[in-house]
A = this chain, B = another copy of it.
Amino acid sequence: MATSLAEFKRIGLVNSLRNCQLGTGLPTTDLETIADLAIPKSLEKGEYLFREGDPSRGFYIVQRGAINVHRVNALGKEQVIHVFRTGESFAEATLATDKGYPGDARAVEPSQVLLVQRDGFIGLLKRRPDLALRMLASMSAHLRVLVGQLEDLTLKDVETRLANWLVKQCPDSQNPKPVPIQLTVTKRVLAAELGTVSETFSRTLAKFREQGLIGVKGRTITVLSPPKLWALLQRHLGG
């Protein structure tokens, strides 16, 4: 069984694709076609994958790490659009239009991504309508996330957003057992993801701590009682 190096890589890519949202359930032949279009790329922490306006080369799938997609205004302030993690894909929106990428993408931590090249993939879409539907579904999901983000930032305060984030980290918000949360990024970065700055983030954590809702030790936040935090969240959301 002589298997070439290229063949090996292909098998690895196919397996990788099968494990991501877009690929699950897809027939192997399609995955192979996509694999042949894909170019892997490693990114160091802080490295940029693309910048706003760059011409689209295709869309990306995160194999490992986390990619922060954001926009920068003229004063240099950043607004996080979304942080994409393992298995997620992004920038599909650039497939169908010739405008460039709509934001900047930077690795939050050391990451590995797959670039699925645009032209070849469009050709595939034309042959496989069901794949096109899947892309539509993927973009729908992104739209929903974005709408949620918009609502969060304009209709909810920082306290609510943080409480919401903390509750989401708990496997079961009704289970009174304390949940330790290990931050994979600095608090400053997490603050940015939540649409605020480190100072406000810190103050809000302190507020929760004073209320006995959480414990903070270095980069570990412990939700002392998920149901209590959940109740606070409900009070906020319920007016």
Which residues of A come within 8 Å of B, CB atoms? 71, 73-75, 77, 79, 81, 92-97, 99, 102-103, 122, 125-130, 132-137, 139-144, 146-147, 149-151, 153-156, 195, 237-239
Contact = CB atoms under 8 A, between A and B. Distances in A.
Given A126-B133, A144-B102, A155-B73, A150 B79 contact: yes
A-B pairs, top 5 by smallest CB distance, nearest first, are A132-B132, A96-B137, A96-B136, A93-B140, A73-B155
Contacts of A127: 129
B126 A130 contact: yes
A contacts with B: majority SS: helix
B237 A74 contact: yes
> How many copies altogether?
2
Contact of A135 (B74, B136, B142): B136
A113 B90 CA distance: 32
A68 to B, nearest CB: 14
B93 A139 contact: yes
Contacts of A75: 239
A153 B142 CA distance: 19
A151 B71 contact: yes
A46 to B, nearest CB: 22
Contact of A146 (B92, B96, B133, B143): B143
A146 B73 CA distance: 16
Nearest to A132: B132
A164 B48 CA distance: 30
Contacts of A122: 133
Contact of A93 (B143, B151, B238): B143
Nearest to A155: B73
A81 B133 contact: no
Contacts of A92: 136
Nearest to A140: B93
Contacts of A81: 147, 150
A81 to B, nearest CB: 6
